[in-house]
A and B are shown apart, each in its own frame.
Chain A
Amino acid sequence: METLDLAELDIRDVNRRLQGRTGDSDASDFEVLNPLGRHTIAAGINRPINVHIRGHAGYYCAGMNQQAKVTIEGNAGVGVAENMMSGEVRVTGYAGQSAGATGHGGLLVIEGDASGRCGISMKGIDIVVGGSVGSMSAFMAQFGTLVVLGDAGADLGDSIYEARLYVRGSVERLGADCIEKEMRDEHREQLADLLKRAGFDANPDEFRRYGSARQLYNFKVGNIGYY
């Protein structure tokens, strides 16, 4: 395992190493020490490596991630895994606002709570939150899945398009055009798979499903292949 210490290295140097742009390391496991809430740690990686961030990260940690598995052993600030394309990002603690924002793919696991706007404008990412999510989560969510083992704050799924939301606890209030939907076998299967991949032991039957009433946008079923 290669150790990168932010007490000694600049954040740009650390990210260049992680991105494989320095050409002098074939390590596939990295640890980042002394993050101390610095921003953009492990952003822009596009290769299959493992990164362990030992402590709390600042804004946009693991942003734009592709292929890599990034674990934050602590809390993450605003916009963790924003615009993730693939790979996996795990936060063992709390995640700040806009976790997984605009993510296209990959899996984001937050073991603690997530603040407001979790999964805002998500476009295909799967997000599993062990705790609760704050208000306006999955705002304008287009595609992908948000799983919440705890409760959801006010205005869940406001102006939602085609994302699926599964919540085990209470929902303070549903947002505009977001409604509760029937849990069918295909949903229970999808949920069971996501819970397993995220490492949570929970019964899919305890969850409720929410999604779009499709009254706020012009949905044509003939165009389903493009959504």
Chain B
Amino acid sequence: MCGIVGLYLKNPELHPRLGELFAPMLIEMTDRGPDSAGIAVYREDPAVGTKVCAYSADTGYDWNGLARQMADDLGVDVRAERNSTHALLQTSVEGADLRGWLERERPDVRIMSSGRALEIYKEVGLPEDVLERFGIPAMAGSHAVGHTRMATESAVTTEGAHPFNTGDDLCLVHNGSLSNHNQLRAWLRHNAGLTFQTENDTEVAAAYLTWRLREGDTMDQALEHAMRDLDGFYTFAIGTRAGFSVLRDPIACKHAIMAETDDWVGMATEFRSLARLPGVENARIWEPKPATIYSWGSN
């Protein structure tokens, strides 16, 4: 059992309040996932061309030293900003291969996310504590997705927590389970050159979408392909640099509810996560239909 939530702010005037509106949504899903939590925040800064959110269990990790070496090797400016067990590594250069450098030079560091706007934070513990640890309630941004996990098969670890990102500002949270992830992971590794950091089925779904987008699909086309190639139960909430999508499998047994006003779109496993959003009493509320793609923003 897991809880997933997503909030996409259509009205830019609400952007400064993203974290404040999003945090209570995630906390409400604590009953569904008290083991660990993860949050993906999209916040774009014109001064930042590329950023990576990295993790080390060592809270004394020398992120500044890492940033200096990264800057020397890549010939770009790199700034490190520690945030608890995570660090945000940012450069003004768009398309800088910070992710590739980390994979080659620092295999001890976990890459949580990479892109232009996306930052992923995840940790074990109660959602409320995870939110506080990273200062999420004070964060501004355009959209966010989150996950609360109740591990049933694999261990409770930071790495096993959602959301998953495999590059290019895409992230995905998942309620359900995929049955053909092993085969698909091997195929993506071999044929699409994608790298994986866990044995988790959801990471495979994220990688699959990353691959389809690189092949030139729009998000809607990528999700059409996903419905053919992914086998299993799923409700997905997906973020891209400027977009937000929701998809349920053709049986739709994993819960999902959506609400939309002129100002925002909210998605959650249960309505109670949406119950405190401003103007929810007049929102359009519905359960996403099976095998139907819902998208907002540019994809």
Contacts and interface: CB of A to CB of B under 8 A. Distances in A.
Given A37-B271, A116-B252, A97 B287 contact: yes
Interface string A114-129: 0110000000000000
Contact of B285 (A38, A94, A153): A94
B272 A58 contact: yes
A38, A56, A77, A153 — which one has the most chain B CB atoms within 10 A of its CB? A56
B212 interface: no
A137 B236 CA distance: 23
A135 B251 CA distance: 9
A38 B255 CA distance: 15
A113 interface: yes
B72 to A, nearest CB: 53
Contact of B290 (A38, A39, A78, A135): A135
A56 B285 contact: yes
Given A78-B255, A97-B255, A116-B252, A37 B290 contact: no
B252, B274, B287 — which one has the most chain A CB atoms within 10 A of its CB? B287
Given A77-B257, A116-B287, A135-B289, A37 B275 contact: yes
A37, A55, A58, A59 — which one has the most chain B CB atoms within 10 A of its CB? A37
A56 B284 CA distance: 12
B255 A75 contact: no
Given A96-B257, A116-B287, A36 B275 contact: yes
Given A37-B274, A38-B272, A59-B270, A94 B286 contact: yes
B214 interface: no
B276 interface: yes
B285 A37 contact: no
B289 A36 contact: no
Interface string A15-48: 0000000000000000000001111000000000
Contacts of B252: 97, 116, 135
A105 interface: no
Interface string B266-286: 000011111110001100011
A62 B255 CA distance: 19
B235 to A, nearest CB: 12
A100 interface: no
A36 B271 CA distance: 8
B270 A134 contact: no
A59 B270 CA distance: 8
Contact of A77 (B271, B276, B281, B290): B271
A135 B253 CA distance: 12
Nearest to B253: A97
Interface in A181-198: none
A93 interface: yes
Given A56-B271, A77-B257, A78-B255, A36 B287 contact: no
Given A77-B257, A78-B255, A116-B252, A96 B272 contact: no
Contacts of B290: 116, 135
Nearest to A114: B287
A38 B272 CA distance: 6
10 contacts: A36-B272, A56-B271, A56-B275, A59-B270, A78-B255, A96-B257, A97-B287, A115-B287, A116-B289, A135-B252
Given A37-B272, A97-B255, A116-B289, 15 more contacts: A37-B271, A37-B274, A56-B271, A59-B270, A75-B271, A77-B270, A77-B271, A78-B255, A94-B285, A96-B255, A97-B287, A115-B287, A116-B252, A116-B290, A135-B289
